[in-house]
Amino acid sequence: MKVLLTTMNAKFIHSCLALYALKAFCPMFESHISIREFTVNQERDFILREIVQENPALIGFSCYIWNITQTIALVKTLKNVLPDVIVVFGGPEVSFQPEEIFSACPLDVIVQGEGEQTFLELLLHYVDGHGSLDQIWGAAYRSNAADIAGGIVVNNVREVMEPSRIHFPYQNGLEAFENRLIYYETARGCPFHCQYCLSGDRGGVRLLPLERAYTELALFLEWRARQVKFVDRTFNCVKKHAMGIWQYLIEHDNGISRFHFEIAGDLLDDEEFELLAHARPGFFQFEIGVQSTNPLIIQRVQRATNLDNLFENITTLRKMGNIHLHLDLIAGLPGEDYASCKTSFNDVYRLGADQIQLGFLKLLKGAGLRDRAEQYGLVYDAAPPYEVLLTRQISFEELSRLKMIEEMTAVFYNSSLFVYTLRYLTEQFSTPFDFYEALSAYWVRNGYHRFSHSKFALFEILAAFDNQKEIVLNLLKFDLFLHEREKSPPEWLVPHMNPEKKQRLKAILYARYPDKAGKDLASSYHIEEFSFDISAWICGGKMQKRGITLIFDYENGGFTECA
């Protein structure tokens, strides 16, 4: 019996841990199971043809808010082509209100909650003919029995699983994951009960034994995995577990791999900082959910965060400088108005993280806030991803404005292409939020939100946005060459040099680095003239009009000023 496990990921770079975890948990059926991953951006007809070509007898779909609509539409068509195929849904998007899914889609079985044991028992039933569906806890299914109201049976909830029972999902290596994120877990559950989240629903925190985690991490390091993202919720909620994994990785660093963790920033202490200080720059990436800096809002959604500790610890991480920091905010939380969102944005922006994400509240099935939406005046889209449209405190128009501010933050700030230009421009406004609000209004007014833009188009948009054009042009040129040796900069930003000037600047470089050959010199360094003293301004001085010459060092990073 051929079994196909599949899903539609949000992007090609993503992979679906669930599919590989299910297959690994069923080694006796390994020869039956194949995996195919698609993306939501691929045509339904293409995915349909690929699945039909596989000719599975049973197909399992991993379902999430980003793919459930496309998955249901696909299965409706698939059942017309392969009417006898057994269709099984699993994942967080179908673990609640199964009757609603059955009424919308001609599937056969839903796996609710953690799926490994339930899926194994389904295979034992369908492949080997063992047991009956009504004995498989965690399953909901269609029944033709006359005494079943509505034709849907929802079995008892299955108890959560200890991670020690989970099988390593990458036993066959990482060849299929080239240029893609690799997801990995060493814990399930969460000790906290944030009302917009499902992770703390039941079962508490369950940890993979550290010795086993070390064995599996050794494989990632041996295979030189580029990026491994831990899906553990609140990775550092158990200090001994987090410290053990961080220490193991630091001691066995291969110089290439990077590891991403979602952590509670307020839980970090001096012992953890002392350990983390030894990590190679960029080796660890921390994603920290701030969500709001308004204590009343944090309390309302039952989020356990000590904001004072959080700000202090993020500041410490930034001073350490070796860990990539990603900070999250959520707009649309109950009780938070536009002014409060502005304050939260400014508080987080001033922390100086590498990336900031302004997300928007989604009322997930099974989340506490969804059950109390009417109580809090939360109006949300009935279709996935169930995003809040307005609340009693914030209008649809205000949330729309915040969406454009989020886009400006993602396009300009998170790209890291405009670090010093943005620093200067935000200083010209009362707060960082005011700058991004003005930039987003300019962006919409000129219709830039209607299409994507090249890197140099973004440089040009920033240049046109500000009326102090000469300063901004100098800063844009500085940001451009600070990151990389740009071989073909636009002439509006870097005019072509006359031969005499080019020769003079080249002579300065040769005099500075006499031991470098011409080819090495050209690839490792760049020299450029500026009409404003950017170097002094970066060090805390004023932005003054004074001609300076800077050499950018791409071997060691940074720049130096020529006397």
* pLDDT tens profile 403-422: 999 999 999 999 999 999 99
Check if the beta carbon of residue 275 is closer than 8 Å to that of residue 246.
yes
Is the pLDDT at 234 greater than 70? The verdict is yes
Strands 545-553 and 525-532: antiparallel
pTM: 0.94
According to CATH, the topology of domain 3-154 is Rossmann fold (3.40.50)
The full set of domain ranges for the chain reads: 3-154, 175-409, 415-476, 497-561
State how far the Cα of 480 lies from the Cα of 486, in Å rounded to an integer.
Answer: 7
Give the chain's count of helices (H) and strands (E): 21, 20
Q: What is the DSSP string of 509-531?
A: HHHH-TTS-HHHHHHHEEEEEEE
State how far the Cα of 477 lies from the Cα of 494, in Å rounded to an integer.
Answer: 7
Single out the residue of 475, 490, 481 nearest to residue 428, CA to CA.
475
Share of the chain above pLDDT 90, in %: 86
Residue 390: which residues within 8 A CB-CB, separation 6 or more?
379, 396, 399
* Same CATH fold assignment for domains 3-154 and 175-409: no
Residue 108: which residues within 8 A CB-CB, separation 6 or more?
86, 87, 88, 141, 142
* Mean pLDDT value across residues 115-124: 97
DSSP conformation class of 316: H
State how far the Cα of 411 lies from the Cα of 463, in Å rounded to an integer.
Answer: 15
Name the superfamily (CATH) of residues 175-409.
Answer: tm_1862 like domain (3.80.30.20)
* pLDDT tens profile 324-375: 999 999 999 999 999 999 999 999 999 999 999 999 999 999 999 999 999 9
Give the pLDDT band of residue 467 (cuts 50, 70, 90).
Answer: confident
